Amino acid sequence: MKTSEFIAALAADPVPEPVDLGRRFAAASALGLIGALALYALFVGPRPDFAEAARTARFNLKFLDALALALPSLMLLVRLARPDAKPGVLGLWLLAPLVLLAFAVSVELAVTPSGAWMARLIGENWMYCTTMIPMMAAPILAALILAVRAGAPRSPAGSGALAGAASAGIAAFLYASHCPDDSPLFVATWYPLATLICAAVGALAGRRFLAW
């Protein structure tokens, strides 16, 4: 087929589908969050001493860290849904959760005796942490991938990994209220592992479903 003939077919279809990327992301996030909350209610739930824990810095830091991961990765995901977009300063914000964790770990190492380090790192619930976070992240990841399909990300695998990281951040925020382990040594070991699992699954899903 000649290109001029091919263009005739394209030009006969001139009005694009009304796609509002921002709105799609908002809807996807809400939908994914509902799925994650349902899983939370069914299988996870808050820890019994939630009210007392909420008065400690270690406990609250877990939520801050989850937000520091979820917000920049979600915003970057939205931005990179356009093919001509560049990460810009937002890309650097992805380091925020790591910086926060590194700071918290160094404080923890300074204030706790070295004999307690290993016990705090292993904690009580690491298996739970690395399975429950990806489980609650799954519906969020699926909804985000569906939303990005309307876009045209320059790197499908990269955007998929970002969607995975964002979903892990939101899931970690929920999971933090359940987990009895509050030491930054624990959080800096197992939460990033759970995030990596989600990002890897997201990258594979992105390669498969976000190619355009």
Partner 1 sequence: MPVESPPDDPWSNMMRAAIAGDEGVYRRLLEEIGRSVRVMARAVFARARLGDADVEDSVQETLLAIHLKRHTWDPGQKLAPWVNAVARHKIIDSMRRRGVRRAENIEDFEDFLAAPAEEDPHALSDAKRLMEALTPRQRDIVRSISLDGQSIAATAARLMMTEVAVRVALHRALKSMGAAWRRSVS
Give contact residues for partner 1 (rule: CB under 8 A): 1-19, 21, 81-84, 150-152, 154, 211-212
Between 26 and 119, CB nearer to partner 1: 26
Burial class (CB in 10 A: 0-12, 13-18, 19+), 56: exposed
- 170-204 residues labelled b (16+ CB within 10 A) or e (exposed): bbbbbbbbbbebbbbbbbbbbbbebbbbbbebbbe
From the list 161, 203, 138, the residue with the least C-alpha distance to 69 is 161
d(CA 91, CA 105): 23
Task: Name the minimum Å distance from CB 1 to partner 1.
Answer: 4
Angle CA(73)–CA(75)–CA(80) in degrees, nearest 5?
90
Task: Name the minimum Å distance from CB 31 to partner 1.
Answer: 21
Task: Name the minimum Å distance from CB 22 to partner 1.
Answer: 11
Between 8 and 109, CB nearer to partner 1: 8
Task: Name the minimum Å distance from CB 19 to partner 1.
Answer: 4
Between 16 and 113, CB nearer to partner 1: 16
Between 3 and 114, CB nearer to partner 1: 3
Task: Name the minimum Å distance from CB 179 to partner 1.
Answer: 39
Structural tokens at position 80: 């990179």
Between 45 and 83, CB nearer to partner 1: 83
